[in-house]
Amino acid sequence: MLKHPDRALCDEVTVRLVKFPDSRRPPALMRAAAAGLLALSTAVLPACGNEPGERPAIAASGPARASDAPQHTDAGPRTASAPRLAGRVEKVFDGDSFRMRLADGTVTGVRIGGIDAPERTQPFAGVSRRTLANRIEGSTVEVEARKRDPYGRVVGAVFRDGQDLGLAQIEAGLAWHFRRYAHEQPPQERRSYAEAEARARAARRGLWSHGTPQPPWEFRARRRANDR
C-alpha cells in the first residue's frame, strides 16, 4: 500500500472504479483491465482518505456474493469526497434504477441509493417506473457516486436540477426507504428519507394506499426461496 498517495492519483483511481466495467470491451480485455485496476486500487485507495484512517467513498466491489447484506455499520460515507457524475438518462428500468451515458460516452447503470421501489410484478411497480421516467428520461442528472453494487451499477444519490430524486420517489409513495443500507447515507439524508416515508404512509399515498404492502426485499427473498 502506498503511504502517502497524491490526491490526483486517488481521484483518478476512484473515478476509474466508478466507470468500470465498460461492456464495449472484449471479455479478455475486460479481465486484464479488471486485474490491473484491482491491483492499482489495492495499492492506492486504502491510504486515500481525506483524513488519517478515513476510508475512501468507493472501493472495488469484487465478485457478487450470495448475500447482499451490508458489511459494516458505520454512519455512512462522507459525501463531500464522493465523485459527482453527470450524464444523460437513456432508459429507466424501474422506480429506482436506470441507464445513463456520461459526457465521455461511457454507459453505466445507476441504482438510486437509499430507496427500494416495487418489483415488476408488485402493485405500483409500473406507476413508480413511469413517474421516475417522466422526471428524468432523456434529461441530464447528477449522481453522487458512493459505490458499485454486485451488478456493476453505480449506487448513490441522484439529482436533477437540485431535486433529490430518491426522496421524491419516497414522498410520492412510490418507494420505500431502504433501511438495510441506511448506514451508507449521510445522517441528514437518512433522516429526511425516513421522515418522508412516515409522511407518505400516514397520508396513504401511492403504495401505502394498499394497507400494508410487502416490501420489495421481502418479495425478492420469497421469490429466491421458491426458485430453490
Q: pLDDT, tens digit, for every residue of 135-193?
A: 999 999 999 999 999 999 999 999 999 999 999 999 999 999 999 999 999 999 999 99
Please name which of 176, 58, 80 lies closest in space to residue 119, comparing C-alpha atoms.
Answer: 176
**What's the CA gap between 19 and 107, in Å, rounded?**
8
124: left (phi > 0), else alpha (psi -120 to 50), else beta?
A: left
For 71, 115, 179, the CA distances from 217, given in Å and listed in that order, are: 17, 11, 11
**What's the CA gap between 201 and 198, in Å, rounded?**
5
Bridge-based pairing state of the strands 176-177 and 115-116: antiparallel
pLDDT score recorded for residue 13:
47
Taking the whole predicted model, whether its pTM rises above 0.85 is answered as no
Hunting for cell 483511481 — which residue is that? 13
Q: Which residues are catalytic?
A: 111, 119, 153
Question: Of 67-76, 185-194, 197-206, where does mean pLDDT reach its minimum?
Answer: 67-76
Q: Which residues pair with 87 in a beta bridge?
A: 102, 141
Q: What is the DSSP letter of 183?
A: G
Q: What is the DSSP letter of 198?
A: H
Residue 60 pLDDT exceeds 50:
no
Of 172 and 60, the one with more pLDDT = 172
Q: Quote the percentage of the chain above a pLDDT of 70.
A: 64
Distant-in-sequence, close-in-space partners of 136: CB < 8 Å, separation ≥ 6: 89, 92, 98, 158, 160, 165
Q: Which residues pair with 97 in a beta bridge?
A: 94, 111
Instruction: Look over the chain and give the mean of its residue pLDDT values, rounded to a whole number.
Output: 77
Please name which of 148, 20, 146 lies closest in space to residue 83, comparing C-alpha atoms.
Answer: 146
Model confidence at 44, pLDDT cuts 50, 70, 90, reads: very low
pLDDT score recorded for residue 16:
52
**What's the CA gap between 109 and 178, in Å, rounded?**
19
Answer for the pair 143, 110: CB distance below 8 angstroms, yes or no.
Answer: yes
Answer for the pair 164, 172: CB distance below 8 angstroms, yes or no.
Answer: no
pLDDT tens for 95-144 read: 999 999 999 999 999 999 999 999 999 999 999 999 999 999 999 999 99
Of 168 and 74, the one with more pLDDT = 168
Which whole number is the average pLDDT over 191-204?
98
